[in-house]
């Protein structure tokens, strides 16, 4: 490639809102590099939908693209409406763990079940960061947050496995310590069809890390690296060995017919055979 | 066959609504089953694909309104239909549609609430919710059909107003009007007025201001539109702390409706300048007006009425006029006083405003009940 990659090509000239050390920078960078390496000169073939939370700010309004910044938890329904009426566009959803598998969980499961043609990138920082660090459906058992000052008494949700069970065509999980793997997964997902889900485990040094004993963002990322276990290896381990570990890799890749394909086949049939 | 042919039909209210939506250009419907609105979803599930549209059942009403907003930004005219509990769930999304200036139509087929209430029975208890259901300062546009024919005409009008003003429009129907069957005359397509949203010109950048109703691009059109429910400037860029940007945006969004009350607030008037007793009614309850006027006249009481086809924005001027002519205004409603207070406010003490309320079991306020109240207030009873 003759020209070199620059995120600026794809961004509006605005100051990014993230705290120093935030994992959102890494995810944004991975996504834009993936887009660049796939040969997209701009984002005109994309529509971005996001909800409420720090990572929902990754595309909106920073990407020089069409973006719909929706209500908390409702990015997937809005993406559903967009994709069904414009099947030609690449619809990508960005959101946090609270947005996608907390308040928006039902939409996530149903979109995967329907095999809706969207790519959902969930930045999992294990906490509600924007509101200052409250317990999330992904917070590790026992972790202290502002609403679990004595430690969380709930078990975290495995969003990647849930997406597989629900019917997604592609599911992968990486962390911000796996920049290249993350970028490659996004590239792959962008070339596939149907419901594609990428979970990017990410650091929130501001609202989470410092409360659970990390000095800074770098320490958190290092911890991710040291405690990530590839899926193939994890399958040979028992539950105890996997406590406080992050299972990374590609969870599924399949080619079920997608929602828009099926819907438009039915529309064609109805137009041909339909009677009023 | 695609569009319904011009002619005379014997339709259910829900069917008239669904067919009107298609003629108005609706090509996307998302909904969740709920009594007594399900028939609209069922009819569109069969009919929309025949005209190349998408009808989609989603997981809940939060998804219904979300998908409708998404489809609208994808360039489609979009609609959902629900009833009380589902309407409650949609309120946040309706506020989002208002703030992002997303044209769409929300049908609320009213049943008896609160909560699950009497799911199969008629009520008119969502009148204030349709005005004030979502949080923050906003202006609602709410239409109120009282016949199957108006389920047809007002559905088209709902889409037209939504497109013209770039705002969500609520068709506040009720169980009686949506379930009964009546004659509907479908005019030839070319006789229907259909309004489409104004699209931007190449190079346009301000899609959220500078004009009272800015042009609306679709995603994928190359305009790089940034849509957000947070306070934003005319270019869609968020300003979540600036008082001026917030004032400018929210005041414009309200004014674009309030400044056009005379055009939006449509009503039927009868004998308002020369009456002893005035009536203000809407929806199924207003069907009693026609008989009552004649029967009262036979008893020597001149009755005038304002029948509200638009509930919000509220037609204050018309009510004030009625109050000037009539000493007393009766307000029959199938709730425990909702529009009554608005009539009282608009009357500004010029007339005594008297509520007539009845709830439960879907029992309508009968013409006999209305007549006896009219005669009583006119001093003719007993």
Give me the residue from B92, B220, B224 closest to A86, CB to CB.
Answer: B220
Residue B349 lies in a domain: yes
Give me the residue from A67, A76, A86 closest to B227, CB to CB.
Answer: A67
Q: How many residues does chain A have?
A: 276
| pLDDT for the residue A270 | 94
Q: Does B73 touch chain A (CB under 8 A)?
A: yes
CATH of residue A159: 3.40.50.970
Q: How many residues does chain B have?
A: 382
| Residue reference for tokens 């409250």 | A134
| pLDDT for the residue A3 | 75
Q: Does B54 touch chain A (CB under 8 A)?
A: yes
Contacts of A241 (CB under 8 A, 6+ apart): none
CA atoms within 13 A on the CB side of A238: 1
Q: Does A78 touch chain B (CB under 8 A)?
A: yes
Q: Does A11 touch chain B (CB under 8 A)?
A: no
Q: Does A272 touch chain B (CB under 8 A)?
A: no
Judge if B167 and B24 occupy the same domain: yes
Instruction: Please tell me which residue of chain B has the smallest CA distance to A265.
Output: B49
Give the range of the structural domain holding residue A100, as residue numbers without chain letter: 17-273
Residue A107 lies in a domain: yes
Q: Does B23 touch chain A (CB under 8 A)?
A: no
Distance of CA A50 to the CA centre of its chain: 10
Distance CA B158, CA B141 (A): 9
Residue A70 lies in a domain: yes
Give me the residue from B56, B70, B222 closest to A68, CB to CB.
Answer: B70
Secondary structure (DSSP) of B212-275: SS---PPTTSSS--EEESS-B-TTS-B-SS-HHHHHHHHHHHHHHHHTTHHHH--EEEESTTS-
Judge if B187 and B272 occupy the same domain: no
Judge if B147 and B11 occupy the same domain: yes
- In chain A, the DSSP E strands lie at 46-50, 66-69, 90-96, 119-124, 127-128, 134-135, 170-175, 196-201, 228-230, 246-253
pLDDT exceeds cutoff 60 at A68 = yes
Contact B70 A78 (CB under 8 A): yes
Is the C-alpha dihedral spanning B108, B5, B267, B179 positive or negative?
A: negative
| CB-based burial label for A148 (10 Å; 0-12, 13-18, 19+) | middle
| Single residue among B141, B159, B191 that ends a domain in this structure | B191
Distance CA A148, CA B376 (A): 65
Distance CA A37, CA A179 (A): 14
Residue A12 lies in a domain: no
Contact B70 A69 (CB under 8 A): no
Contact B237 A14 (CB under 8 A): yes
Instruction: State the ipTM, two decimals.
Output: 0.96
| pLDDT for the residue A152 | 96
Is the C-alpha dihedral spanning A52, A58, A61, A64 positive or negative?
A: negative
Residues of A in contact with B56 (CB under 8 A): 80, 84, 263
Distance CA A72, CA A69 (A): 9
Residues of A in contact with B47 (CB under 8 A): 276
Residue A58 lies in a domain: yes
Taking only residues 97 to 126 of chain A, the set having a beta carbon closer than 8 angstroms to any beta carbon of chain B reads 106-107, 110
| CB-based burial label for B167 (10 Å; 0-12, 13-18, 19+) | buried
Residues of A in contact with B59 (CB under 8 A): 106-107, 110
Judge if B127 and B12 occupy the same domain: yes
Per residue of chain B (382 residues), give pLDDT as tens.
Answer: 578 999 999 999 999 999 999 999 999 999 999 999 999 999 999 999 999 999 999 999 999 999 999 999 999 999 999 999 999 999 999 999 999 999 999 999 999 999 999 999 999 999 999 999 999 999 999 999 999 999 999 999 999 999 999 999 999 999 999 999 999 999 999 999 999 999 999 999 999 999 999 999 999 999 999 999 999 999 999 999 999 999 999 999 999 999 999 999 999 999 999 899 999 999 999 999 999 999 999 999 999 999 999 999 999 999 999 999 999 999 999 999 999 999 999 999 999 999 999 999 999 999 999 999 999 999 986 4
Contact B219 A86 (CB under 8 A): yes
Secondary structure (DSSP) of B315-359: -HHHHHHHHHH-SEEEEEESSSSSHHHHHHHHHTTSSEEEEEE--
Contact A84 B69 (CB under 8 A): no
Judge if B287 and B167 occupy the same domain: no
Instruction: Please tell me which residue of chain A has the smallest CA distance to B97.
Output: A70
| Single residue among B155, B173, B191 that ends a domain in this structure | B191
- Structurally, chain A folds into a number of domains equal to 1
pLDDT exceeds cutoff 80 at A129 = yes
Distance CA A226, CA A215 (A): 16
Best of A45, A84, A113 to mutate (most B CBs within 10 Å, chain B): A84
Residues of B in contact with A66 (CB under 8 A): 219-220, 223-226
CATH of residue B280: 3.40.50.920
How large is the angle between the packed helices A259-273 and A75-85, nearest 10 degrees?
40
Tell me if the bond preceding B313 is cis, omega within 30° of 0.
yes
Give the number of beta-carbon pairs within 8 Å between A and B.
151
Q: How confident is the model at residue A2 (pLDDT cuts 50, 70, 90)?
A: low
On whether the CB atoms of residues A80 and A109 are closer than 8 A, the answer is no
Q: Does A263 touch chain B (CB under 8 A)?
A: yes
Residue B170 lies in a domain: yes
Angle at B109 between CA B159 and CA B163, to 5 degrees: 10
Is the C-alpha dihedral spanning B12, B18, B19, B24 positive or negative?
A: positive
| pLDDT for the residue B202 | 96
- Structurally, chain B folds into a number of domains equal to 2
| pLDDT for the residue B1 | 53
Tell me if the bond preceding A61 is cis, omega within 30° of 0.
yes
Residue A11 lies in a domain: no
Give the range of the structural domain holding residue B170, as residue numbers without chain letter: 7-191
**Residue B271: which region, alpha, beta or left (left: phi > 0; alpha: psi -120 to 50)?**
left
Taking only residues 158 to 187 of chain A, the set having a beta carbon closer than 8 angstroms to any beta carbon of chain B reads none
Q: Does A259 touch chain B (CB under 8 A)?
A: no
Taking only residues 173 to 202 of chain B, the set having a beta carbon closer than 8 angstroms to any beta carbon of chain A reads none
On whether the CB atoms of residues A107 and B59 are closer than 8 A, the answer is yes
Give the pLDDT confidence of A176-224 residue by residue, as tens digits: 999 999 999 999 999 999 999 999 999 999 999 999 999 999 999 999 9
Contacts of B374 (CB under 8 A, 6+ apart): B277, B279, B292, B296, B301, B303, B330
Contacts of B134 (CB under 8 A, 6+ apart): B91, B92, B94, B95, B98
Secondary structure (DSSP) of B27-43: EEEEE---TTTHHHHHH
Residues of B in contact with A67 (CB under 8 A): 225-227
Judge if B128 and B14 occupy the same domain: yes
Residue A1 lies in a domain: no
Q: Does B18 touch chain A (CB under 8 A)?
A: no
| Residue reference for tokens 């400037």 | B233
The pTM is what? 0.97
Question: Quick one: tokens of B53?
Answer: 């549209």
Question: Quick one: tokens of A171?
Answer: 């599911």
Q: Does B58 touch chain A (CB under 8 A)?
A: yes
| Single residue among B191, B212, B242 that ends a domain in this structure | B191
| pLDDT for the residue A275 | 55
Contact B219 A71 (CB under 8 A): no
pLDDT exceeds cutoff 60 at A59 = yes
Residue A5 lies in a domain: no
Judge if B306 and B184 occupy the same domain: no
């Amino acid at each position: 490639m003759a020209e070199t990659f620059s995120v600026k090509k794809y961004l509006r000239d605005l100051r990014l809102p993230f705290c120093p050390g935030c994992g959102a920078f890494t995810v944004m960078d991975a996504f834009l590099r993936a887009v660049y390496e796939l040969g997209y000169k701009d984002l005109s073939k994309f529509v971005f939908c996001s909800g409420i939370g720090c990572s929902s700010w990754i595309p909106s309004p920073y990407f020089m693209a069409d973006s719909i910044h929706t209500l908390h938890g409702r990015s997937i329904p809005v993406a559903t409406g967009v994709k069904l009426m414009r099947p030609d566009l690449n619809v990508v959803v960005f959101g946090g763990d609270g947005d996608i598998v907390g308040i928006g969980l039902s939409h996530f499961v149903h979109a995967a079940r329907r095999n809706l043609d969207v790519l959902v990138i969930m930045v999992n920082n294990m906490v509600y960061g924007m509101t200052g660090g409250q317990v999330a459906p992904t917070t590790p058992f026992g972790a202290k947050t502002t609403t679990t000052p004595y430690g969380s008494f709930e078990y975290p949700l495995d969003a990647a496995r849930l997406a597989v069970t629900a019917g997604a065509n592609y599911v992968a999980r990486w962390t911000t310590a796996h920049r290249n793997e993350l970028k490659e997964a996004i590239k792959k997902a962008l070339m596939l069809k149907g419901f594609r889900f990428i979970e990017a485990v990410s650091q929130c040094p501001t609202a989470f890390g410092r409360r659970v004993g990390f000095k800074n963002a770098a320490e958190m990322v290092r911890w991710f690296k040291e405690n990530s276990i590839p899926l193939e290896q994890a399958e040979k381990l028992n539950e105890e060995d996997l406590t406080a570990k992050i299972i990374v890799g590609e969870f599924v890749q399949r080619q079920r017919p997608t929602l828009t394909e099926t819907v438009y086949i039915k529309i064609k049939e109805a137009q041909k055979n339909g009677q009023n | 066959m695609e569009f319904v042919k011009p002619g005379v039909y014997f339709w259910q209210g829900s069917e008239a609504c669904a067919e009107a939506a298609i003629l108005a250009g609706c090509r996307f419907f998302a909904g969740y089953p709920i009594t007594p609105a399900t028939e609209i979803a069922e009819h569109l599930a069969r009919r929309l694909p025949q005209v190349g549209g998408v009808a989609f059942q989603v997981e809940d009403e939060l998804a219904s309104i979300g998908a409708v907003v998404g489809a609208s930004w994808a360039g489609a005219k979009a609609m959902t239909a629900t009833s009380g509990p589902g309407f409650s769930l949609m309120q946040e999304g309706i506020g989002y549609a208002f703030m992002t200036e997303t044209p769409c139509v929300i049908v609320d087929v009213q049943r008896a609430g609160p909560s699950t209430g009497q799911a199969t029975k008629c009520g008119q208890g969502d009148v204030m919710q349709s005005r004030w259901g979502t949080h923050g300062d906003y202006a609602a546009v709410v239409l109120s059909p009282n016949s199957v024919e108006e389920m047809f005409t007002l559905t088209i009008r709902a889409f037209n107003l939504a497109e013209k003003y770039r705002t969500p429009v609520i068709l506040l129907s009720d169980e009686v009007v949506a379930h009964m069957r009546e004659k509907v005359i479908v005019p030839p397509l070319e006789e229907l007025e259909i309004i489409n949203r104004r699209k931007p010109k190449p190079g346009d950048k301000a899609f959220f201001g500078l004009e009272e109703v800015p042009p609306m691009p679709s995603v994928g059109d190359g305009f790089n539109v940034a849509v957000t429910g947070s306070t934003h400037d005319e270019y869609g860029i968020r300003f979540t702390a600036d008082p001026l940007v917030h004032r400018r945006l929210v005041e414009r969004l309200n004014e674009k409706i309030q400044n056009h009350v005379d055009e939006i607030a449509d009503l039927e008037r009868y004998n308002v300048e020369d009456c002893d007793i005035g009536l203000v009614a809407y929806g199924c309850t207003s069907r009693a007006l026609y008989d009552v006027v004649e029967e009262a006249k036979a008893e020597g009481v001149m009755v005038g009425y304002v029948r509200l086809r638009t509930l919000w924005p509220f037609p204050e001027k018309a009510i004030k006029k009625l109050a000037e002519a009539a000493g007393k205004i009766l307000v029959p409603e199938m709730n425990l006083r909702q529009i009554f207070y608005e009539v009282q406010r608009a009357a500004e003490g010029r007339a005594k405003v008297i509520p007539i309320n009845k709830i439960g079991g879907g029992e309508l306020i009968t013409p006999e009940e209305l007549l006896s109240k009219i005669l009583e207030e006119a001093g003719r009873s007993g």
